[in-house]
Amino acid sequence: MNKELLRKLPKIDELLKNDVIQNELKETQRVLIVESLRESIEKYRKYILEDKIQDFEEDDVLNYALGLLLKKKKNNLRRVINATGTVIHTNLGRSILSKKAVENAIEIAGRYNNLEYDIESGKRGSRYSHIEKLITKITGAEAALVVNNNAAAIMLVLDSLCKEKEAIVSRGQLVEIGGSFRVPDVMKFSGAKLVEVGTTNRTHLYDYENNINDNTGMLLKVHTSNFKICGFTEEVELESLVKLGNERNIPVVEDIGSGVLVDFSKYGFTHEPTVQESIKKGVDVVTFSGDKMLGGPQAGIIIGKKKYVELMKKNQLTRALRIDKMTLSALESTLRYYLDEKEAIENIPTLNMILSSKEDMKKKAIKFRKKFRHALDNFEFKIDEDYSMVGGGSMPTEKIPTYVIKISSENISVNEMEKILRLNETAIITRVFNNELILDVRTIFDEDIEEIIKALSKIN
């Protein structure tokens, strides 16, 4: 029986003559089609040898191959719908770019541009000149430099100012910055020698003073934006650290983590230190991310005293860590909104989502539920109060009041529903809690609803 079924397996050349495949060849790469057909034939060969099937038709092999082809035609990196309520979701691409940032990036990517060309002089220019004045205007710093992420920014600062020297940092600030990358390891790679002072929960100014020597290259402060230590704690105020640095002629460097350019305490949130505050307090160099609270593309931004930033611009590492034209264009578009805080909040999706009121979320939930009920009658949709999260290692203790839609059905379990939505053509990422499927409307766009309805309608 196995031999008869094996002989029945179609040859690739025969399948390529099929009308459906011929149509696919008009718009799909031949290599992907042949690969899918080969994998389908091998799949059926394996089934036959393992006695898993008693018979099959050529169409069965063909349909399985078309299913494989559909997956192969999709990009591995693709859009998903974030219904989790985590605004800066590290696994889902962090901050969403503004419409203007996307448009600018597309325009720059699709045409020649003046990336390293000075139009006025007709000579070679610097890619950093397009954005440095904008950053310094917003932050109040003397100079600025942008690299490809904040870990790179920290490494470049350390390599430029502290190579083969000692960097003094509080033990309680030796954080892991994501993906198992840790501040001590970044420091070691840069050639700086780490000097830990104080304890996990308490560090005093004298801890820094007592460890300064002739080989001290910097006093480093790392903002622990992704966790909080509560209870019996103490850390050195930034002003005191700056004063000590000035007295001993040692630069003070702060890694502030998220690029907070708006004082969130004005909008009812716990105060999160802003970049501008650090510059006003006299910090020599500040580093922060472009793709977290700032709401732009992935980037590491370095600002501070001109004499220090100039050293980094001349560092050979800078070329290896520089950002590309698309990132630069998207970052510029994002930063331009910060010239007017109101415009930034209205147009930068990350800020808009975080600062949208609970009442706005209630209206949004009611509107979405109405659409769901109109299109789907085999599900129950319940609106409830809940909390969204900022995410991205920012404001770890901050909960944002929101409204969610809880979906249930007698025909399918919550876990099965979650899986079906997650494996939808456009993946829909939800929350499951207390045996309920939850959609947080804070991170759902109006245009996402039709896709969610379409996915749910496939469930009987």
Tens-place pLDDT, residues 313-341: 999 999 999 999 999 999 999 999 999 99
Does residue 335 contact residue 138 with C-beta atoms inside 8 Å? yes
Global pTM? Answer: 0.88
Mean predicted lDDT score pLDDT of the chain: 91
The pLDDT score that the predictor gives to residue 183 is 64
Bridge partners (DSSP) of residue 289 are 300
Residues 106 and 233 in one domain: yes
CATH number at residue 367: 3.90.1150.110
Determine the pLDDT at residue 237: 84
Q: Domain end: 347, 380, 400, which one?
A: 347
pLDDT at 193: 87
Do 295 and 194 lie in one domain? The reply is: yes
Task: Give the whole-angstrom CA distance, residue 190 versus residue 452.
Answer: 47
pLDDT at residue number 175: 60
For residues 166 and 223, state if they share a domain: yes
pLDDT in the model for residue 454: 95
* Least confident window among 131-140, 198-207, 280-289: 198-207
Q: How confident is the model at residue 443 (pLDDT cuts 50, 70, 90)?
A: very high
- The reply to whether 185 and 122 lie within a common domain is yes
What are the beta bridge partners of residue 436?
433
The reply to whether 243 and 337 lie within a common domain is yes
In the block, residue with structure tokens 């520089």? 322
Q: Check if the beta carbon of residue 147 is closer than 8 Å to that of residue 289.
A: no
Distances (CA, A) of 18 to 6, 13, 99, 212, 291: 20, 9, 44, 78, 48
122 pLDDT more than 60:
yes
In total, the chain counts a number of residues equal to: 460
Q: Are residues 297 and 369 in the same domain?
A: no
Residues 26 and 157 in one domain: no
Q: Does residue 259 sit in the same domain as residue 303?
A: yes
Neighbouring-strand partners of residue 394: 391
Please tell me the predicted confidence (pLDDT) of residue 361. Answer: 97
Q: Residue 55: which domain range?
A: 2-73
The reply to whether 153 and 297 lie within a common domain is: yes
**Same domain membership, residue 276 and residue 419:** no
User: pLDDT tens digits, residue range 385-430?
Assistant: 999 999 876 777 789 999 999 999 988 999 999 999 999 989 999 9
Nearest-angstrom CA–CA distance, 316 and 310: 12
Q: Looking at 288, 322, 347, which one is the last position of a domain?
A: 347
Instruction: Tell me the per-residue pLDDT of 279-318, one tens digit each, with 9 for 90 and over.
Output: 999 999 999 999 999 999 999 999 999 999 999 999 999 9
What is the β-pairing status of strands 117-118 and 252-257? unpaired
At 134, which amino acid appears? L
Do 62 and 112 fall within a single domain?
no
Last residue of a domain, one of 347, 380, 396: 347
Q: Where does residue 416 fall: left (phi above 0), alpha (psi -120 to 50 degrees), or beta otherwise? A: alpha
Q: Are residues 195 and 132 in the same domain?
A: yes
* Half-sphere exposure in the Cβ direction for 438 (13 Å, CA): 20
The 10s digit of each residue's pLDDT in 28-83 is: 999 999 999 999 999 999 999 988 888 999 999 999 999 999 989 988 899 999 99
Q: Report pLDDT digits (tens) over 222-275.
A: 876 545 555 555 677 889 999 999 999 999 999 998 889 999 999 999 888 899
Mean pLDDT along residues 361-379:
95
Distances (CA, A) of 155 to 19, 135, 172, 259, 301: 57, 20, 19, 17, 12
User: Structural domain tally of the chain?
Assistant: 3
CATH code of the domain in which 159 resides: 3.40.640.10
